[in-house]
Amino acid sequence: MDAVRRLLFLTSAIVFFDTLFFTALTPLLPHYARSLGLGKAGAGVLAASYPAGCLISAIPSGSVATRLGAKPTVIAGLTVVACCTVLFGIATTPWELDVARFAQGFASAFTWTGALTWLVAATPVSRRGQTIGNAFAAASAGALFGPVLGAIASQAGVRATFVVVGIGSLGLALWALLSHAERPEAGQPASVLLRAMRTRGVLLGCWFVTLAALCFGTLGVLAPLWLSAIGVGTVAIGATFLAGAAGETGINLVIGRIADRHGALLPLRVSLVGALLVSLLLAIPAHTTAVVVVLVIIACVAFGMFFTPGMTVLMHGGDAAGVGFGYSVALVNMAWAPGQALGAAGGGALAHLTSNAVPYLLLAGVCALTLAGLWRRSTVSMMRSARVSSAQSLRTTGAD
């Protein structure tokens, strides 16, 4: 087994564990809302604590990975993640849960940035696309089994389950410690990242990653509470999101091939139409239990369709702007975290003050405006291309 393959296994295990813990909260939200009296707003704050921590550490994680090396970045992140996971399991008050979740998100940005930077630095350019794709497949697998972990925790006990997960994270830190270290990337100042964030490709990619996170943040808070309110148990809630994550993983494999052949704009338009329609359906309160379950699964698929083409546009934009991979991963974290936090906390608070319909209608409106802007951008690009072709034709005719 070559060094790249061994490192791929390590990276895959890291992102799997990270995503596993993040999505494990989904079926447990009704439990915390009932036992601690959180309500929709409090549940939204708890769900938003993780991405809020990730947002704050996005740029520092990229800077540490590029200057000190990916290996120490990974080890530090995994050690803190392990401690915070155990603290989350034994927490008994809302503020303890919020702080543990925030710190876990803060450390998670270091594990993601460090692991992916480490993997890319060790991978030949000809194999990077496939290797990165395999690593993200592991993250999707973590999203698949996270709700299952939450369901297990509801039956076996939250404390025992998360203590075991924390020990697993320490095991990954030991694995990373014993792995071969790579040479750090040439350090880049943060100004390179700031300049890249002003380019059109990076901004467009960041917006679609943010939009996907905004939709998922809202759904991840409101849907479990809605399902619990109509009598769906924790295990069934976990199974619902498991089915949704499986559909999301499958559709993104198809979208990735479509984006390679026809560009990212086509799947982005299809994604926007799907997200718009399902948001409108979620805003209708009168549904049977079976219909609600099916809608949540469809919403997971529709909202997840943004990620692959959005990240493709973002990564290409970062490459064009000369951003190193450590900062490119930081860009993904910076785009994802505010959308996830705003969707969870804002969507929960808004639903608490009004109803579930209002946040879903706002999501539908944002999708409609984005779709209109994307069509306008495509039309303007076509007109510019036509003008350039016409000018070239006139120059050719004049030369003749």
| pLDDT interval class at 210 (50, 70, 90) | very high
State mean pLDDT over 151-166: 86
Give tens-digit pLDDT for 79-104: 999 999 999 989 889 999 999 999 99
| pLDDT interval class at 187 (50, 70, 90) | low
State mean pLDDT over 45-68: 88
In one letter, which amino acid is 265? L
> Above 90 in pLDDT, residue 181?
no
> Above 80 in pLDDT, residue 62?
yes
pLDDT at 63: 83
pLDDT at 144: 73
Residue closest to 302 by CA, chosen among 327, 277, 325, 280:
277
pLDDT at 391: 43
d(CA 258, CA 209): 18
pLDDT at 31: 83
State mean pLDDT over 142-149: 79
Q: Residue 214 is encoded by which pair of tokens? A: 């905004």
pLDDT at 218: 93
Average pLDDT score, the chain: 82
pLDDT at 380: 45
Q: 59 and 194 in contact (C-beta within 8 Å)? A: no
Burial (Cβ within 10 Å: 0-12, 13-18, ≥19) of residue 395: exposed
Residue closest to 116 by CA, chosen among 86, 71, 58:
71
> Above 50 in pLDDT, residue 307?
yes
Give a three-class secondary structure readout of the chain: CCHHHHHHHHHHHHHHHHHHHHHHHHHHHHHHHHHHCCHHHHHHHHHHHHHHHHHHCHHHHHHHHHHCCHHHHHHHHHHHHHHHHHHHHHCCCHHHHHHHHHHHHHHHHHHHHHHHHHHHHHCCHHHHHHHHHHHHHHHHHHHHHHHHHHHHHHHHCHHHHHHHHHHHHHHHHHHHHHCCCCCCCCCCCHHHHHHHCCCHHHHHHHHHHHHHHHHHHHHHHHHHHHHHHCCCCHHHHHHHHHHHHHHHHHHHHHHHHHHHHHCCHHHHHHHHHHHHHHHHHHCCCCCCHHHHHHHHHHHHHHHHCCHHHHHHHHHHHHHHCCCCHHHHHHHHHHHHHHHHHHHHHHHHHHHHHCCCHHHHHHHHHHHHHHHHHHHHHHHHHHHHHHHHHHHHHHHHHHHC
Residue percentage of the chain with pLDDT more than 90: 27
Q: Which residues of 366-376 are buried (b: 16+ CB within 10 A; e: fewer)?
A: bbbebbeebee
Interaxial angle between packed helices 200-229 and 3-36, expressed in degrees from 0 to 180 and rounded to the nearest 10 = 40
> Above 60 in pLDDT, residue 367?
yes
Higher pLDDT, 326 or 103: 103
> Above 90 in pLDDT, residue 222?
yes
> Above 90 in pLDDT, residue 296?
yes
State mean pLDDT over 239-252: 82
> Above 80 in pLDDT, residue 3?
no
**Radius of gyration in angstroms for the set of CA atoms belonging to the chain, rounded to a whole number:** 22
pLDDT at 128: 59
State mean pLDDT over 233-260: 80
Give tens-digit pLDDT for 375-388: 776 554 533 443 44
Q: pTM score, two decimals? A: 0.79
Higher pLDDT, 186 or 41: 41
| pLDDT interval class at 40 (50, 70, 90) | confident
d(CA 122, CA 107): 23
State mean pLDDT over 225-252: 85
Residues in contact with 86: Cβ distance below 8 Å, sequence separation at least 6, in sequence order: 162, 163, 166
Torsion of CA 177, 178, 180, 183, to 10 degrees: 20
| pLDDT interval class at 389 (50, 70, 90) | very low
Higher pLDDT, 369 or 26: 369
Higher pLDDT, 166 or 193: 166
pLDDT at 390: 39
